[in-house]
Amino acid sequence: MKIGNIIVRLRSFLTTVITLLSHLPTPHRIVLACASLILIVSVMVADNTSAVPVAPGQFRSNLSLDLGESDVEVNSEPSVESSAQVKDPEPEVSYVVQKGDTLSTIFDLLHISQTTLYKLMEADLNVLALDTIQPGHQLGFNFDTEGDLKQFIFRSGLTYKVVFNRGEKGEFEYKEFIEKGGYRREVFAGEVQGDLPRSMQRAGVRIAEAYQVTSLLKERMNFRSHLRAGDRFQLAVSRQYVKGEYTGNSIIEGFVYDGAIRKQSAFLFDDNYFDADGESLEKAFQRIPLKRRYRISSGFNPKRKHPITGLIRPHNGTDFSVPIGTPVLAAGDGVVTRVIKHRYAGLYIEIQHNRKYTTRYLHLSKAYVRKGQKVSRGQKIAASGNSGRSTGAHLHYELRVNGRPVNAMTAPIPVVQTIASKKRNAFKHQVAELKSLMAEQLALAKKQ
Ligand SMILES: [Zn+2]
């Protein structure tokens, strides 16, 4: 048996093994990995080729060894259509990100060159999806007949997917997919015993939903001193499901707190939260994350084409022509979710604002905040710069709504302070409807 054939066999074995393994819990993985290795080894022995015995549990290092022979022919399995709309064909190699993995360790493992990784990162510049790979994220790889990476699929959770396809010039083009799923409204009611999040949890509310509520009302309520045992709460929440599975996304629709000391409520209306009297609960955003207006050197353009490759290279942000060192301000209250140095985006910051808004600030020279830090609107978070791949000093500013990039200069952002008088009735109607649903639930909870 020729060494080339062995590699071909190994590769198809390993592909199957990786695909299987990535869907299984760790103990099963180890068992399966051992079984597969024994199988592989026996195939080699049966062919009178000298087989190297492999210790169990060394699956990974073996994998990288075996796929390493880049000069050997590789099997040309039917390739996936480059059109990303095709309904999820199984990629040739599937991999679920493990603890401690980085993109380069994974690419090393599969013997995909660093050049290819850089090309992917270049395409990812406008998504920055690959910067935050975490255990559980799913990666898919498809190769061409030469064994070069042709398609790369990144999937996080049930709702988000980015597909990178390689064009003729070797550059990658990406498409982002966000699954809308369906929302189901669920209503909960209960009494406070101990702290609010855990009391809500006992009533069936997810802990993340409880924290959404407390962050929504943090300006209005002190969740220590205002709480008394026996206070009642009611919550209406819409949970997102894809194919019957909860995605982790919940939208708080209504919350009522009826306490001995404090009465408080929050209702979602027209994408903003108000109390039952129609007073806004959220702070406004500022349109421009700078102290004053600067010239826009490049605007938001989702259809921008690369001048040389002709591939779609969207410009997902707004570029402000600002000198290096210009203070960059947080566009709204939020939590810093990323402070990262990226080969192309340079030093950049991401802020997650309440529920659905994210902002990004690229090509910075200095960051004044760290990951996890709370920031408020107008706070100086960075100094602008020219880092990464940048043709001149500027600030690239991005606004994403539910993960989708929007034009930050024109998008509707929370600036509403009160409800317009013509919408008052609609608001009252909605509050009344939710309140009656919640009252029903409270009555049920009391019976139990
Ligand atoms: Zn830009």
Residue type, 39: L
The pLDDT of residue 87: 55
Q: Cα dist. 152→165, 274, 282, 326, 402 in Å?
A: 7, 43, 39, 37, 23
Tally of CA atoms within 13 A in the half-sphere of 149 that contains its CB: 26
The pLDDT of residue 73: 24
CA 193 to chain centre: 34
Strands (E), 272-333: 272-274, 296-298, 318-320, 327-329
| 86's tokens | 């095709």
Q: How far is the CA of 242 from the centre of ligand 1 (A)?
A: 33
Q: How far is the CA of 52 from the centre of ligand 1 (A)?
A: 52
Report which of 34, 26, 25, 36 is spatially closest to residue 57, judged by C-alpha positions: 34
Q: What is the rounded distance in angstroms from the CA atom of residue 221 to the CA atom of residue 310?
A: 54
Q: How far is the CA of 364 from the centre of ligand 1 (A)?
A: 12
Residue type, 163: V
Q: How far is the CA of 351 from the centre of ligand 1 (A)?
A: 17
Q: How far is the CA of 411 from the centre of ligand 1 (A)?
A: 17
The pLDDT of residue 416: 53
**What domains, with CATH codes, occur in the chain?**
3-178 (3.10.450.350), 186-282+422-447 (3.10.450.350), 296-406 (2.70.70.10)
Q: What is the rounded distance in angstroms from the CA atom of residue 133 to the CA atom of residue 382?
A: 24
Report which of 238, 188, 268 is spatially closest to residue 196, judged by C-alpha positions: 188
Q: Which residues contact 117 (CB under 8 A, 6 or more apart)?
A: 103, 104, 107
Strands (E), 199-355: 232-242, 245-258, 263-269, 272-274, 296-298, 318-320, 327-329, 334-342, 346-352
**Burial state string for 322-342 with b = 16 or more CB within 10 A and e = fewer than 16:** bebebbbbbbbbbbbbbbbeb
Question: Which residues of the chain register pLDDT less than 50?
Answer: 1-14, 16-86
Q: How far is the CA of 168 from the centre of ligand 1 (A)?
A: 25
Q: How far is the CA of 318 from the centre of ligand 1 (A)?
A: 6
Judging by DSSP bridges, how do beta strands 138-143 and 93-96 pair with one another?
antiparallel
Q: Does residue 106 contact residue 134 with C-beta atoms inside 8 Å?
A: no
Q: Does residue 150 contact residue 162 with C-beta atoms inside 8 Å?
A: no
Q: How far is the CA of 298 from the centre of ligand 1 (A)?
A: 7
Residue type, 105: T
Q: Which three-class secondary structure state does DSSP give residue 168?
A: coil
